[in-house]
Amino acid sequence: MHRKARRGRRRAPKRSPVAVIAGALGELMLTAGVVVLLFVAYTLWGTGLQTAAAQNDLRNQFELQIDTEDEAEEVYDGLELGDAYGILRIERFGENWERIVVEGVEDEDLKNGPGRYPDNAHPGELGNFAIAAHRSGHGEPFAKFPELHEGDIIEIETAKGIYRYELDTAPNGHPDGNKIGIRDSWVVDPVPGEPRSTEPTEARLTLTTCWPRWGSSHRMYASGVLVDAEER
């Protein structure tokens, strides 16, 4: 009698250590790619939705400030970090571009909109009224910052009135224009470039943001002087 040959199970070919490592690296890269995409999606859309909701609440808060009978200085004095401060309008960023400015420039403040440096002058006052804002995420309020040009008008409305500043230093369309070190805080001093003890003789505005757009290794700034005021 002929015996039936036993069929043995085929063994999978043994993978080399190089192939095993390459496969593991491929899976890690795929996972990392998914994580990066999720992070970008959250940065662009997730934080933007949160900021949009916050801006609506802040607008309502600012309108209540306008309706109050308190003096503007009293409104200013009563502001806490994160409160609505005013409305910023920059035509260079779009015909109807405007954002509610909050009091404060910490991360918790800037996630809701552009923020005012608390220790600086108020609009119309001698000194330096300064605002910071994000270029990416949280609604990207200053995404077009490099497009600012000298001569552009920056308008800020507060409970006290409407103030317009004309830029005399700006990036002028250059992606690296007015790039400064991350610790160069002199741009928001009462008299930029002079000791903080120097008495200001003009009312100035300074805008600051991050450089590059998707990072924060440096800063960019634009600055101007008050050219018009309509007090309430």
- CA distances 19 to 28, 30, 33, 92, Å, are 14, 16, 21, 55
pTM (two decimals): 0.80
Q: Which residues contact 227 (CB under 8 A, 6 or more apart)?
A: 153, 164, 165, 166
Question: Is 210 known to be catalytic?
Answer: yes
**Binned average pLDDT, 10 residues per bin, the chain of 232 residues:** 52 62 64 44 68 96 84 83 97 97 97 97 97 96 98 96 98 97 96 94 98 94 98 86
Question: Which of 122, 174, 210, 218 is labelled catalytic?
Answer: 210
The span from the CA of 193 to the CA of 185, in Å, is: 10
Domains of the chain plus CATH, in order, are 39-231 (2.40.260.10)
Beta strands 179-181 and 218-231 are: antiparallel
The span from the CA of 216 to the CA of 143, in Å, is: 13
* pLDDT on residue 35: 38
Question: Which of 122, 134, 138, 218 is labelled catalytic?
Answer: 134
The answer to whether 121 and 129 are in contact (CB under 8 A) is yes
